[in-house]
Amino acid sequence: MTIKRIDANKRMSEAVIYNGMVFLSGQVGSPGKTTKEQTVEALSAIDHLLAKAGTNKSRLLSATIWLADMVDFDIMNEVWEAWLEEGAAPARATCEAQLASPLYRIEIIVTAAL
């Protein structure tokens, strides 16, 4: 089967399509913005990449959400739940982690079906 890479560089691909599935790299918002703003931006980036791959958020299979601080769990969920389509919630895990920079509050990784 063919592997298709979207927006690839030497280090990584923003998305990889294989066997009817789309695997996205971790998406973040602008460093230094609030958790709410970064969540909105990360979800917008996910929408964009899924569209480039030929699918959309109604086809999500799984999501992993990394928060710099679990104190932001409720505000992230508020944005996440407003973004999700009714009846299309993926399997999901949310964890606290030290992200690439202290200016990042959230990173979201998703997998979707084509």
What are the tens digits of pLDDT across the range 21-66? 999 999 999 999 999 999 999 999 999 999 999 999 999 999 999 9
Residue 72: HSE in the Cβ half-sphere, 13 Å Cα cutoff: 22
Q: Is 86 left (phi over 0), alpha (psi -120 to 50) or beta?
A: beta
Average pLDDT, the chain: 98
Q: Which residues contact 1 (CB under 8 A, 6 or more apart)?
A: 18, 19
Residue type (1 letter), 6: I
| DSSP code for 33 | S
Distance of CA 105 to the CA centre of its chain: 13
Domains of the chain in start order, with CATH, are 4-113 (3.30.1330.40)
Tokens describing residue 60:
């999500």
The pLDDT confidence band at residue 81, using thresholds 50, 70 and 90, is very high
